[in-house]
């Protein structure tokens, strides 16, 4: 099976669309020691713009959320609860704060475990997704895959309408 590396164009669309299509793709990471690890994405969530009260950027641009306004294909990595790194990929046009949270991969259930398994830390924040010579990239295998949708989790602070949005995408196995 020929794998194709996802390019910038893939991420230059509305984030629910990108989040849905990322399910079943391969997250590829070159570890600091040079070892390459590839994991299939099983779960994503979309965080979509200033109008989405669940999105970090819904209150506007700050030092932390600035990276969400970057061009598509940029990584947004931040620390949660002082322990866990969260891995996001910026989508949509530049100046539109949208991102897809990679919630889980095959063999790494949960966003904190995922970044631990791939040695993803704040060092990768603001990095641009690259090809297979860089620290992190994505591949597709061309196989169609089915997914289920569900409301997002852990966003109790968002408005009821935004909490109800089916912007969580889970690989159907």
Partner DNA sequence: TTAGTGATATCC
Partner DNA sequence: GATATCACTAAA
Q: Which two tokens stand for residue 173?
A: 């196995």
Q: Tell the smallest beta-carbon distance from residue 149 to DNA (Å).
A: 17
CA atoms within 13 A on the CB side of 60: 0
101 near DNA, judged by CB under 7 A: yes
Question: What is the smallest separation between the CB atom of 39 and DNA, expressed in angstroms?
Answer: 14
112 touching DNA, by CB under 7 A: yes
Q: Phi then psi for 54, rounded to 5 degrees?
A: -85, -15
Write the binding mask 10 to 49 for DNA: x where contact by CB under 7 A, - elsewhere.
-----------------------------------x-x--
Q: What angle do CA 32, 78, 53 make, to 5 degrees?
A: 150
Closer residue to DNA in complex, CB, 101/120: 101
CA distances from 69 to 65, 76, 105, 116, 166 (A): 7, 10, 26, 26, 23
55 forms part of the interface with DNA (CB under 7 A): yes
- Return residues touching DNA (CB under 7 A): 45, 47, 54-56, 59, 62-65, 76, 78-84, 86, 88, 99, 101, 109-114, 153-157
């Amino acid at each position: 099976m020929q794998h194709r590396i996802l390019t910038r164009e893939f991420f230059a669309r509305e984030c629910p669309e990108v989040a849905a299509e990322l399910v079943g793709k391969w997250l590829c990471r070159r570890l600091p020691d040079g070892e390459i690890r590839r994991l299939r994405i099983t779960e994503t969530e979309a965080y979509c713009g200033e109008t989405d009260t669940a999105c970090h950027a819904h209150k506007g641009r700050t030092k932390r959320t600035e990276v969400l306004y970057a061009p598509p294909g940029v990584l947004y990595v931040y620390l949660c609860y002082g322990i866990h790194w969260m891995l996001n990929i910026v989508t949509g046009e530049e100046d539109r704060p949208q991102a897809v949270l990679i919630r889980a991969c095959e063999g790494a259930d949960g966003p904190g475990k995922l970044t631990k398994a791939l040695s993803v830390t704040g060092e990768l924040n603001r990095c641009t997704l690259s090809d297979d010579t860089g620290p992190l990239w994505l591949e597709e295998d061309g196989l169609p895959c089915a997914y289920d949708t569900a409301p997002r989790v852990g966003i109790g602070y968002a408005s009821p309408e935004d909490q109800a949005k089916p912007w969580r995408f889970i690989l159907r196995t």
